[in-house]
């Protein structure tokens, strides 16, 4: 009887505990809801800067794609070490309870697709870039002191592909791009055309790449072809070092396509924050 009573009381207490449970809140963060010009809603997660404003007059800002999936890991890595805290992490996500919203990201991060392949809808990369450049960046600058010479973009898979596209088509938008396991093979390597246009402008002296960088970071267990494509891209871009573009190719041992973005946050943040413009 006593044992039964204790079991009943325990169940009641457990039930009361669960009934009053609340979502976990990450310290040092805030969240915004924003819309694009077309009315698409975004969930913006901010890892707030800590400490005094740097001598540059503003905090470096790191924009992170697929924020629902990767913001917690990058935020934790940023707060774990003092040297990383004096920066702003802006993660762009969606009003969804799934880590990766495949329908939304398929549109935002991709080029236009032939009708036969346009399911789910694709082709929103320029609209998404407009949202980042014309809506999100100005709002971040309104709320924080921002170092305009220290803006970075980090993306994985489709997000990495989008980062490379951004470098090629809007090279002044970010000083540094980190493409983690980028999908360079997408649509028969469609990025080759904007790459050629980018190279042409660079060799013609039309671009200031003095403080620009691209890091291609692959998992050791990524597809062999994907690793080869990334290495080949970095090799093709090496000649642009004479115009200031720094390019790098790295392999993370033991990691595959889906595990690598959770393995590298500290290294990525450290590289981006230490790559100051002097």
Quote the pLDDT of residue 216: 98
Query: What are 194-203's pLDDT values in tens digits?
Result: 999 999 999 9
Q: From CA 147, how far away is CA 169, in angstroms rounded?
A: 22
Q: Which two tokens stand for residue 79?
A: 């707060």
Domain layout of the chain by residue ranges? 25-274
211 against 29, higher pLDDT: 29
Domain boundaries 25-274, corresponding CATH code: 3.40.50.1820
pLDDT in tens, 170-183: 999 999 999 999 99
Is residue 58 a contact partner of residue 148, using CB atoms and an 8 Å limit? yes
DSSP string covering 132-175, please? Answer: IIIIIHHHHHHHS-EEEEEEEEEEETHHHHHHHHHHHH-TTT-S
């Amino acid at each position: 009887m006593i044992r039964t009573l204790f079991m009943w009381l325990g169940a009641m207490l457990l039930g009361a505990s669960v009934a009053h449970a609340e979502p976990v809140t990450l310290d040092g963060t805030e969240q915004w809801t924003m819309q694009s010009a077309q009315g698409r809603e975004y969930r913006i997660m901010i890892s707030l800067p800590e400490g005094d404003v740097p001598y540059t007059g503003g905090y470096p800002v790191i924009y992170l794609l697929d924020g629902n999936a990767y913001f917690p890991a990058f935020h934790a890595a940023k707060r774990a070490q003092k040297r990383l805290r004096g920066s702003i992490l802006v993660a762009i996500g969606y009003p969804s309870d799934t880590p990766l919203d495949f329908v939304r990201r398929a549109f935002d991060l991709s080029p236009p697709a032939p009708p036969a392949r346009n399911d789910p809808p694709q082709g929103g990369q320029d609209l998404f870039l407009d949202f980042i450049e014309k809506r999100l960046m100005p709002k971040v600058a309104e709320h924080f002191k921002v170092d305009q010479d220290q803006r970075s973009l980090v993306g994985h898979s489709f997000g990495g592909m989008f980062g490379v596209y951004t470098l090629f088509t809007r090279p002044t938008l970010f000083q540094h791009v980190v493409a983690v396991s980028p999908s360079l093979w997408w649509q028969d390597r469609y990025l080759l055309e904007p790459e050629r246009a980018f190279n042409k402008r660079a060799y013609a002296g039309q671009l200031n790449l003095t403080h620009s960088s691209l890091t291609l970071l692959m998992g050791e267990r990524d597809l062999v072809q994907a690793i080869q494509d990334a290495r080949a891209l970095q090799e093709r871009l090496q000649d642009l070092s004479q115009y200031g573009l720094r390019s790098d190719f790295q392999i993370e041992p033991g990691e595959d396509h889906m595990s690598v973005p959770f393995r590298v946050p500290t290294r990525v943040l450290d590289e981006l924050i230490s790559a100051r413009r002097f």
